[in-house]
Amino acid sequence: MAYLLQQLANAVPLAALYAALAFGYAVAFGVTKRPDITYGALFAFSGQMLLLFTDFGYNRLWLVLPAALALGAVASVVYAVGAGVWIGRSVMLPLVRQSSNTVIVAALGVTILLMETARLASDTRSLWLSPFLNGHVVFWRSAGFEVVLTEMQLINTALMGAFVAIGAVILKRTSWGRVWRAVTDDPKAAELCGVSAVNVFLVAYAAAVLMATLCGILSTAYYGTMDFGAGLMFGLKVLMVAAVGGYSDPLKSAGGAAGLGLAETLWTAYGPFLWRDLVVFSLLVLLLVLSRRERVIP
């Protein structure tokens, strides 16, 4: 029983991460209507920029660790959000009304560019952060077994949950949220009502990129590193994870992604670890096939 409770506790931070990433992806997908793996690539890129500039501040500028982390976080936001806004304006916006295949090819090219940029900037070195905020918070004790989470896990969970909550309030309660829903439903009709679909597209894409960037910073701070090849893996994974709850509603997408995080953690705890990714991706493909709806054109 205690082991199960610990695994459920371990699932909470992962579920919060998947929920935040899926929410941001659904916001961008609402205006692009195209699969875009650059979202996951920007998530990984932000973590790699955090590592690069934290290492620079700590080893070259001789800053204390908190100051070096602050430098890395600021630089990560500037580089990742800047790259994301440029991608949205210069790559995705011109292609979004074209064939979906062009968006997929362009997204793959951008993903490779981001991965190689981070690799070359780091001189192909795997950088690691010094552990911090690793103190244990005990939730339950039984016969010498403790159910615990680290301070960093709790901070990450709280912040990512807050990101989703703030995003949901903006979409549901503000005028921009109503405009976003109008553009996602029918951009041409929205423009006839005086709404700039292009501006909504750019703001939505930038907001999604900001969500991916913040999640990348928090995840890298917890795990301590971000692999150079993680961009492609996370790009594919986020694309499919967000589909669990459907792309039409970011909050439902976040809920479905959180459920997948729980399932993935339980499989890691009770199933063979080597089969985890195969089982998860197979389940995602099955869900996508079963939930696919064809529109009949008379």
Question: What is the Cα–Cα distance from 294 to 278, expressed in whole angstroms?
Answer: 27
What's 130's DSSP letter?
A: P
Q: How much is the pLDDT for 233?
A: 80
pTM of the model: 0.91
Query: Average pLDDT of each block of 10 consecutive residues along the chain (298 residues)?
Result: 85 94 93 89 94 94 94 96 94 82 88 91 88 87 84 96 96 94 92 91 95 95 88 80 77 88 87 81 75 46
Q: How much is the pLDDT for 295?
A: 42
Q: How much is the pLDDT for 292?
A: 57
What confidence tens digit (pLDDT) does each residue in 98-123 have?
A: 766 788 889 999 999 999 999 998 88
The answer to whether the CB of 147 falls within 8 A of the CB of 138 is yes
Collapsing DSSP to helix, strand or coil, 102 comes out as: helix
Strands (E) in the chain, as ranges, are 136-142, 145-150
- CA torsion sign for 243, 249, 293, 42 is negative
Q: In Å, how far are 23, 183, 215 from 251, measured between CA atoms?
A: 6, 18, 17
The answer to whether the CB of 235 falls within 8 A of the CB of 40 is yes
In the chain the domains, ranked by start, together with CATH numbers, are: 2-291 (1.10.3470)
What's 246's DSSP letter?
A: -
